[in-house]
């Protein structure tokens, strides 16, 4: 939610835009801090975002580029798709190859081709390399804003390099490389400022450098940031050559983005809906695919129930407990699926089958204990309510089997998703719930059919 002052600023921008008072709008945009514009853009319509961004481009292309970089990825793509190709290129050529790699596959083909045509052969190869990495790769987060010096440089040389560096480079550490550009050391600004000006950087650098490989995952980067309490991590390639750095701000943004995306997937929705608040048809189209998954699954459940028509007609009270069985098994499967998916995405659970199997067995053991307690309580209540002890036995057995199987299936599906190179979170939403409804109904009515002879007595 916007602060009162930002809300006033937002309304002012909108009013000036609708009145066509572009001169006043330009003056305000020039004075407004980029961070405030990022916050305001979240609350503008599609047309307002695009028009205001174009005005900002005309008066300050550098500020427009910085603004676009800090916007949510979906808003970035929305704006770039709406801009004429020439205007989009004006902004994108200020981005690094790593930044372009994050969004290029979501842009129109004509714009993709135009971007590739603008890049040098070396940059094209670098872009292809970035794109080849997986979704969880740190590659798009690698920044080229850092200072690296050769080991023979003196402190005075390094200070001169720092003074002449672009303003947007955050100078916290100076990285030291050899003649082959391999990372061999690091020195903090404090160490450099307190050292004699004629001292060589190799004499004051720390050779115990914490770095990360360019093909590492975001989860691995997060682990290194937390373990060593770092603000920046240097990135090296397979030859230990320094190719960039990762800032903690960028990795935190990536975590926030991934967490938000996961919440939407668990609900069978998409984050894009937040950016189409005024487009009902577009929002409906985004939700429909998952709803059809549920419709198909529940139609299968209906067919299964119809197959047990004879059992239901012979003992009607068996139907009373169908919602309870479906709800409990759905809850258990969701718990297992969410815990497993979160563990796999954060690296707390490894994807090695032996390690995962140990975790899955633990989940099943927990489910057995829960199943014993729940089936006993529900079985007793149902037998008293229906005044028939055998109904309690049937429901108790069915619930026990359902809970254990639901925990197993819920824990297994995210792992299968990961192995087929899909996001494990996808398996925590409608797919898991629908599948467990089918299994739950089949087990419950199947158990009732086995005991039908005793239920009729």
Please determine, for residue 338, whether its predicted confidence score (pLDDT) is greater than 60.
yes
DSSP H or E run through 282 = helix 280-307
Contact predicate 337/413, CB 8 Å: yes
pLDDT for res 427: 58
Confidence of residue 273 (pLDDT cuts 50, 70, 90): very low
pLDDT at 308: 87
DSSP 244: E
Question: What average pLDDT score do residues 348-369 get?
Answer: 86
Q: Region of 95 please: left (phi>0), alpha (psi -120 to 50) or beta.
A: beta
Distance CA 128, CA 101 (A): 8
Please give the C-alpha separations between residue 55 and each of 8, 48, 364, in angstroms, as whole numbers: 20, 11, 59
Radius of gyration of the chain (CA): 29
Q: What architecture (CATH level 2) is domain 4-132?
A: Alpha Horseshoe (1.25)
Count the residues in the chain.
457
pLDDT in tens, 367-404: 999 999 999 999 899 888 888 888 888 889 999 999 99
Measure the CA–CA gap between 442 and 301, rounded to whole angstroms.
8
Condensed to tens digits (0 to 9), the pLDDT of residues 120-169 reads 777 777 777 776 666 677 887 888 889 999 999 999 999 999 998 887 78
What sign results for the dihedral spanned by CA atoms 19, 23, 26, 27?
negative
Chosen CATH of 148-252 out of 2.30.140.10, 3.40.1440.10, 3.10.580.10, 1.20.5.440: 3.10.580.10
Stretch 49-64: mean pLDDT, rounded?
Answer: 91
Most confident of 4-13, 137-146, 269-278, 420-429: 4-13
According to the model, what pLDDT value does residue 208 have?
92
Spatial distance between the Cα atoms of 168 and 160, rounded to a whole number of angstroms: 17
Please tell us whether the domain made up of 271-455 is placed in CATH 1.10.357.20. yes
User: Nearest CA to 344 among 424, 275, 440?
Assistant: 424
**pLDDT averaged over the chain?**
83
Plot region of 52 (φ>0 → left; ψ -120 to 50 → alpha; else → beta): alpha
Q: What residue ranges do the domains of the chain occupy? A: 4-132, 148-252, 271-455
């Amino acid at each position: 939610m916007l602060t009162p002052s930002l809300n006033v600023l937002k309304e002012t921008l909108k009013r000036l835009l609708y009145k066509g008072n572009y001169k006043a709008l330009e003056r305000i945009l020039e004075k407004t801090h980029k961070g405030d514009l990022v916050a305001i853009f979240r609350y503008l319509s599609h047309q307002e975002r695009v028009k205001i961004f174009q005005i900002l481009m005309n008066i300050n292309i550098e500020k427009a580029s910085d603004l676009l970089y800090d916007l949510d990825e979906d808003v970035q793509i929305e704006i770039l798709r709406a801009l004429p190709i020439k205007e989009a290129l004006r902004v994108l050529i200020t981005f690094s190859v790593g930044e372009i790699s994050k969004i290029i596959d979501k842009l129109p083909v004509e714009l993709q081709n135009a971007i590739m045509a603008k890049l040098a052969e070396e940059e094209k190869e670098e872009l292809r390399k970035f794109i080849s990495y997986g979704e969880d790769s740190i590659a798009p987060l690698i920044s080229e804003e850092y200072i690296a010096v050769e080991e023979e440089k003196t402190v005075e040389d390094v200070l001169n390099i720092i003074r002449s560096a672009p303003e947007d480079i955050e100078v916290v550490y100076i990285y030291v490389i050899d003649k082959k550009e391999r990372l061999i050391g690091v020195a903090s600004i404090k160490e450099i400022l307190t050292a004699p000006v004629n001292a060589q950087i190799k004499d004051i650098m720390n050779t115990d450098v914490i770095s990360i490989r360019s093909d590492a995952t975001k989860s691995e980067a997060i682990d290194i940031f937390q373990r060593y309490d770092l603000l920046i991590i240097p990135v090296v390639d397979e030859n230990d050559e320094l190719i960039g750095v990762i800032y903690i701000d960028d990795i935190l943004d990536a975590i926030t983005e991934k967490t938000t995306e996961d919440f939407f997937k668990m609900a069978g929705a998409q984050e894009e809906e937040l950016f189409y608040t005024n487009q009902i048809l577009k929002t409906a189209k985004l939700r429909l695919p998952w709803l059809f998954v549920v419709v198909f699954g529940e139609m299968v459940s209906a067919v299964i129930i119809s197959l047990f028509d004879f059992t239901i007609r012979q003992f009607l009270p068996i139907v009373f407990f169908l919602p309870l069985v479906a709800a409990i098994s759905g809850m258990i499967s969701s718990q297992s699926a969410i815990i497993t998916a979160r563990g796999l995405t954060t690296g707390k659970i490894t994807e090695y089958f032996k390690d995962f199997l140990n975790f899955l067995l633990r989940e099943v053991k927990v489910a057995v204990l829960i199943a014993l307690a729940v089936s006993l309580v529900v079985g007793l209540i149902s037998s008293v309510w229906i005044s028939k002890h055998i109904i309690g036995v049937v429901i108790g057995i069915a619930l026990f089997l359902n809970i254990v199987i639901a925990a197993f299936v819920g824990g297994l599906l995210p792992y299968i998703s990961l192995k087929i190179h899909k996001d494990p979170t996808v398996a925590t939403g409608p797919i898991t719930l629908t599948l467990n409804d089918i299994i739950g109904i089949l087990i419950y009515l199947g158990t009732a059919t086995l005991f039908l002879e005793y239920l009729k007595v």
